Chains A and B, each alone.
Chain A
Amino acid sequence: MNIAAFLKRNVGWFALLLVAAVLPLPLQKQQYTMVLFMLIVLYAVLATAWNIIGGMAGQLDLAAGAYLGMGAFTTGTLLLRWEVTPWVGMFIGALMAVLLSLLIGYPLFGFKIKEVWYALSSLALCEVLRVIFLMWDEVGGPTEVYLPTVNSPLYSMRFTTATPFYYILLVLLVVALVINFRIRATKLGYQLLALGEDEDAAEVLGIDARAAKLKALVIYAFLCGLVGGVYACFYGYLHPSFFDADISTEVAIFGIVGGMGIIYGPLLATILLVGVRELLRARLGGGLEGLYLVVYAVVLIVVALYQPRGIAPLVSSVLQKLRNALAPGKKEASWR
């Protein structure tokens, strides 16, 4: 493909990436802000990965925490026991997450468990793993297991500020977005979208639902596992609470609020919602503990009531109107 044309066509994305890349430079001294930005990117990777299984394939997956935890524990344990660098460990962790996803996905999709039953099964995976690692003293246990710094901070991914983690996750975010676009442009994308729209209809047209959903689940689990490795290194310890049902539900919320199946939706929703949540926490947290959650819930309800298809269609229609105003006569783009 012509590189110049490619750059021009995706100018918005490159501008966004440039902003994201230089964002930390003026903020070196503001650790809280930097951690906040890092968390936004972390959640954005998870939510963008969720878009594949949730947004496209329409499976309400609530196991992001399970795959994240699996990646974290594998990466951390490899560093702790065998001094394997997390740069390699995170990929082994991601493969463990994939293994886990096959273990649950193969029977679940085989028995055609879907909708709310799939959601509950995937949520259960998270809880089951948390309890297992709580009992399993060799790698987990009820006390935190601290990660050492082996050789150098770079080798063991133990940086003292959030900035390096921000950049690592930013790379993962780009990877997750590119994977989304690639899938969307291939046969798998159409298979998943059809399954998400109407599973029975898609099956009788000749789509192997189990195979397609498993592919989506594996890619999602792999990305979550990678994030898990970085997650462990950022916090510097391992704890069974990493198998976090809250993260799982939040990731699904970002995916849904963003707009099901819209690639930039989860990213947009994560920026807005984590931003709003943290802002509220900072403003209201000092006065009344937990009040920010009430306001946060109201924001979610308003979106569900007035923009049930997510905020991304709203944004893209506004953008479209702007574009029409600037350059009239252009063809209307598809909302995805």
Chain B
Amino acid sequence: MIRVTDLYSGYGKVPILNAVSFEVSEHEMVAIIGPNGAGKSTLLKTIAGLVHPSSGKVVLEDQDVTGLPSYQIVRHGIAYVPEGGRVFPNMTVMDNLRMGAYSNRQTLKEGVLDEVFTLFPRLKERAEKFARTLSGGERQMLAIARGLVSRPKLLMLDEPSLGLAPKLVDEIYEKIRLLKESGLTVLLVEQNTTYALELADRGYVLENGRIFMEGSCAELASSDHVRKAYLGL
């Protein structure tokens, strides 16, 4: 589905990513774990087109999307849910969702909306409320829903558990599991290693801007390095 090869990226003259290569197959859920400052968010931002790569390639289904502006990348079918949700606080929940359908250049279809509301019933109750009145968990749900209504081929989630109470993290991850079961291709970036490795099919460990390890989640979870550095075992 998506193949990233030898990606170099950073801000101005500061390099962050060093020859990062990985791939995600269709219907697969891949987790990228790593410590603070490893470049996880930069990686997603580079794929989404918010940060310009200095070299390397991002190929989505045989189409080279490297370095395209972000508004074009969405149209290729990559939805990016940024860290902290980043919903539009002064728009209603419904308007936020309508903005999500923007890239399709069509209005929000009933069917899509029903699917999203079935997954997140709480958003339906709050449809006409301003997004600023939502709780942290609801905002995260809205952010994911907003990504889904564009009908993406690939959903990229940046730290969906960030700043949420443990109970809400459970709830969000339950939703992500449902999405995975529905066959959606998901690229997940997460510091919460336990959750990420439990749910994903495969994982990559990103450290200092390089891919340090890769493997199935079971392999990663049983490796000494991951156990020591990330799982605290």
Contacts and interface: CB of A to CB of B under 8 A. Distances in A.
A72 B33 CA distance: 59
A287 interface: no
B150 interface: yes
Contact of A205 (B69, B89, B103): B103
A293 to B, nearest CB: 33
B67 interface: no
Contacts of B146: 205
Interface string A202-238: 1111111100000000000000000000000000000
B71 A197 contact: no
Interface residues of B, number: 26
Contacts of B99: 190, 194, 202, 205
Contacts of B150: 205-206
Interface stretch (B79-87, B118-126, B169-177, B182-190): B79-87
Interface string A173-209: 0000000000000000010011001101111111111
A27 B4 CA distance: 72
B103 A197 contact: no
Given A190-B99, A194-B99, A209-B71, A204 B91 contact: no
Interface string B89-116: 1110001001110110000000000000
Contact of A197 (B80, B82, B88): B88
Given A194-B99, A201-B82, A203-B50, A208 B87 contact: no
A177 B193 CA distance: 53
A203 B71 contact: yes
A207 B80 CA distance: 13
A205 B90 contact: no
A310 to B, nearest CB: 12
Interface majority SS (helix, strand, loop, mixed), chain A: helix
A194 B74 contact: no
A197 B90 contact: yes
A189 to B, nearest CB: 11
Contacts of B90: 193, 197, 261, 336
B74 A205 contact: yes
A191 to B, nearest CB: 8
B102 A205 contact: yes
B69 to A, nearest CB: 7
Contact of B86 (A193, A201, A208): A201
| Residue from B73, B79, B91 with most neighbouring chain A CB atoms (10 Å) | B91
A99 B75 CA distance: 31
B71 A206 contact: yes
Nearest to B156: A204
B70 interface: yes
A208 B71 contact: yes
Interface string A247-275: 00000000000000100000000000000
Contacts of A203: 49-50, 69-71
A204 B74 contact: yes
Contacts of A197: 88-91
Contacts of A194: 88, 91, 99
| Residue from A190, A194, A206, A261 with most neighbouring chain B CB atoms (10 Å) | A206
Contacts of B86: 198, 200-201
Contacts of A198: 86-88
Nearest to A261: B90
A193 B91 contact: yes
Nearest to B79: A204
A55 to B, nearest CB: 12
B69 A204 contact: no
B48 interface: yes
B69 A206 contact: no
Nearest to A336: B90
Contact of A204 (B48, B87, B88, B98): B48
B117 to A, nearest CB: 19
Contacts of A209: 71
Contacts of A193: 88, 90-91
Interface of B: 48-50, 69-71, 73-75, 79-80, 82, 86-91, 95, 98-100, 102-103, 146, 150
21 contacts: A190-B99, A193-B91, A194-B99, A198-B86, A198-B87, A201-B82, A202-B88, A202-B99, A203-B49, A204-B49, A204-B50, A204-B79, A205-B74, A205-B100, A205-B103, A205-B146, A205-B150, A206-B70, A206-B102, A206-B103, A261-B90
Given A198-B87, A201-B88, A205-B103, 7 more contacts: A190-B95, A193-B91, A198-B88, A203-B70, A205-B100, A205-B150, A207-B102
Closest 5 CB pairs of A and B: A206-B103, A201-B86, A206-B74, A197-B88, A203-B70
